[in-house]
Amino acid sequence: MIHHPEIRDRRGEAGGAIALAGAWDIRSLESRSRQLGGELARYAGAEAWDLSGVQRLDHIGALLIWRAWNRRKPAKLVAHPEHEALFADLAAIPQVAPERRRISLVEPVRSLGDGAAAIAGGFIDLVRLLGQVALDLVAFARAPARGPWREISATIYRAGVQALGITALVGFLIGVVLAYLSGEQLKAYGANVFVINIVGIGIVRELGPMLAAILVAGRSGSAMTAQFGVMRVTEEIDALAVMGIPVAMRLVLPKVIALAVAVPLLVLWTNFVALTGAMLSTKLQLGIGYRMFIDTLPHAVPIANYWLGLGKGAVFGVLIALVACYFGLRIEPNTESLGRGTTQSVVTAITVVIIVDAIFAVMFSHVGFASR
Amino acid sequence: MTAAIQVEKLWTQFGDAVVHRDLDLTIHAGEVVALVGGSGSGKSTLLREILGLQRPTRGRVKIFGHSLHDASEAEFHKLRKRMGVLFQGGALYSALSVYDNVALPLRELRCFDEDFIRDVVMLKLAMVDIQPAHAHKMPAELSGGMVKRVALGRALALDPELLFLDEPTAGLDPDRSESFVKLIEELRHELRLTVVMVTHDLDTIVSSADRVAVLADQQVVVIGPIEEVTRTRHPFIESYFLGDRGRRALAAFHQHPLPPALDDEEEEADEPG
């Protein structure tokens, strides 16, 4: 029968000592450690201890007692030999305080310098990655037969074909909402038919490419970064390098090429579904027929807008792939870095897409509007 | 002797593949048992089932007499705290330092102050031979052997009664494996540990296991002291223990502590397997 840990003061008796009894192991102590620690501390000065009644003792229990002894054996101690061995272990605990990172006055300056160096290092890495991709692209163009065709087609399937569903859903809803909201405003002016112009230009020129790019960044960009990260953790990237397989050529280039192909196609698809949504909405809300919508569309939205949208899609695809690979290759082999890298990758990719979209808007402000 | 682990009539099935068929295994408190078997024989699956990480298709696992499958959430949690596991790859939390890795289970109990925890952590690290200077390193900065030792330190943090070691000496240099074996020997004397290890390392088996359980043909074919196991006629045992490698390990064992019962066994071991 195992008893609870107990402390009895028997100093009054002949050969008296502080007697401990019961089980002094973590399972019995868990809930009582503070209370027992306090009780033991009261007998800290006692010279004679009797541990012969202790049924079980482990390191945690021994440590509780050892601390009450001020880390040295009392003058008179009665204990089982195997329990004494535990105290011998405790006597060997290194008392040097484990080194904590010291905080000094130089620290802010150093962290500023470290930050600046990290940004500079990141920039150099980015340039190196871009250069490597450019070189690989040249090599690929010279010998297309040796190119990573399987990887390209696999990435197109994963990032493009498998994204058809989600882009369709989002595109359709945005088309419906956009047409409904602008229709509501135009009705007030009796300019119902201009809803086709607003929706057409808005979707083909802006929303289609943006929606596709943002969804791809969230879906595939994060997946690519995480893939690189895990490959890094499991040393797969090192294994490729050792086998003489160029990492950039096999892993980075196919992703860049595949997204440059897949995102414009997704843009086309998103445009189509979003315009369908808009068409349904205008029919229901404003009574503009499908025939009317389809006939007016080419007139309202000059073909240049399509090319602009597709071009933007290709550029966005390349940027998303580069950002994903850049952050993926910077992941250190630990879980925290993996999470941080993936987050950074998605946030950066979406930000870059929006910034570049704004640049496009300014650069092509004269292109693609119907002259009246 | 009381049983620490009882596995009764255990079946494990993945689709059509039967991994364990009516498997029985009893491990007594205070002994060191090595679990051996060819790759794919279901050693790791058995270990996971004993740990309660995976549910067997049929049969039951009892730890200290409590069935894992009928236990309430609280009981199960309590049982878990009595077990320590050294995973094959260490499974150190890569976002935490060595110190915090070992401190984590202690902090999770929420009944010791930080000062007390520091003493326990430094003790466990000293036991597994990690210098205090390494305490604030991250797992990524450690060598493979150090990862193993820190992981053992973490497995021992809560003074478990039952210690599971999955390939404890794989990836350690011979010198380190030897000190690892010694460490386990010491621990079981001091803490009365029950140790279950899955290992391929014959030296470790020979020098530290009280009994060896051989897993083959979806069952435990034999469990007993090494002499008894090597005497069993079974193709796996013959190729494993009585091949060249096995002979060398056994011979080295026989040169040092030679219990009388082993003499006639040695002759048998010399017969071509």
Q: How far apart are CA B160 and CA B150, in angstroms?
A: 16
pLDDT of res. A370 = 64
Burial B147-184 (b: 16+ CB within 10 A, else e): bbbbbbbbbbbbbbbbbbbbbbbbbbeeebbeebbebb
Q: Which runs of E-coded beta strand occur in A282-332? A: none
DSSP 8-state secondary structure symbol assigned to residue B134? G
pLDDT at B254 exceeding the cut of 90: no
Confidence of residue B89 (pLDDT cuts 50, 70, 90): confident
pLDDT of res. A35 = 82
- Contact between chains at A33 and B136 (C-beta distance less than 8 A): no
DSSP 8-state secondary structure symbol assigned to residue B5? E
User: What is the enclosing helix (H) or strand (E) of A227?
Assistant: helix A222-233
Q: How far apart are CA A330 and CA B35, in angstroms?
A: 41
Which of B111, B123, B135 is opposite residue A89, by nearest beta carbon? B123
Whole-number mean pLDDT of chain B? Answer: 82
Provide, rounded to the nearest whole percent, the portion of chain B with pLDDT above 70.
Answer: 91
What's the complex ipTM? 0.76
319-348 of A, contacting B, C-beta below 8 A: 332-336
The answer to whether residues B250 and B263 touch, using CB atoms and an 8 Å cutoff, is no
Task: Decide if A91 touches B, using CB distance below 8 A.
Answer: no
pLDDT of res. A223 = 94
Q: How far apart are CA A56 and CA A62, in angstroms?
A: 10
Task: Decide if A93 touches B, using CB distance below 8 A.
Answer: yes
What is the Cα gyration radius of chain A?
35
Which of A67, A89, A335 is opposite residue B127, by nearest beta carbon? A89
Biggest CA-to-CA distance, chain B: 61
CA atoms lying within 13 Å on the CB side of residue A35: 8
Contacting residues of B for A93, CB less than 8 Å apart: 119, 122-123, 126
The answer to whether residues A349 and A332 touch, using CB atoms and an 8 Å cutoff, is no
Confidence of residue B272 (pLDDT cuts 50, 70, 90): very low
pLDDT in tens, A206-258: 999 999 999 999 999 999 999 998 998 888 888 988 988 888 888 999 999 99
Stretch B171-199: mean pLDDT, rounded? 81
By CA distance, what is B95's nearest residue in A? A336
Stronger pLDDT, B26 or A95, i.e. the higher one: B26
Q: What is the mean pLDDT of each run of 10 residues along chain A (372 residues)?
A: 80 79 83 81 82 85 85 83 82 68 78 92 90 91 88 94 95 95 90 89 93 95 92 87 86 94 96 95 90 90 92 96 93 85 94 95 84 52
- Contact between chains at A336 and B95 (C-beta distance less than 8 A): yes
Stronger pLDDT, B261 or A167, i.e. the higher one: A167
Which of B109, B122, B190 is opposite residue A93, by nearest beta carbon? B122
By CA distance, what is A81's nearest residue in B? B190
Whole-number Cα distances in Å, A20 to A9, A24, A31, A33, A34? 9, 9, 18, 14, 16
Which residues are CB-neighbours of B148 under 8 A, at least 6 positions away?
Answer: B86, B90, B168, B171, B172, B180
Query: What SS3 class is residue B2?
Result: coil
Lookup: tokens for B12? 């494990």
pLDDT of res. A176 = 95
- Give B229→chain A minimum CA distance, Å: 32
- Contact between chains at A93 and B123 (C-beta distance less than 8 A): yes
DSSP string, B13-33: EETTEEEEEEEEEEEETT-EE
Confidence of residue B266 (pLDDT cuts 50, 70, 90): very low
Whole-number Cα distances in Å, A101 to A6, A97, A104, B113, B135? 41, 12, 10, 21, 12
pLDDT of res. B258 = 43
- Contact between chains at B81 and A333 (C-beta distance less than 8 A): no
DSSP 8-state secondary structure symbol assigned to residue B86? E
User: Judging by DSSP bridges, how do beta strands B194-198 and B211-216 pair with one another?
Assistant: unpaired
Stronger pLDDT, B130 or A342, i.e. the higher one: A342
Lowest mean pLDDT among A127-131, B222-226, B237-241: B237-241
Q: What is the identity of the amino acid at B46?
A: L
- Give B232→chain A minimum CA distance, Å: 37
Interface probe for A, chosen from B81, B116, B193 (most Cβ of A below 10 Å), is: B116
Gap between the terminal Cα atoms of chain A: 99
- Contact between chains at B122 and A60 (C-beta distance less than 8 A): no
Please count the residue pairs, one from chain A and one from chain B, whose beta carbons lie less than 8 angstroms apart: 78
Lookup: tokens for B43? 């050693």
pLDDT of res. B261 = 42
User: Judging by DSSP bridges, how do beta strands B3-14 and B17-28 pair with one another?
Assistant: antiparallel
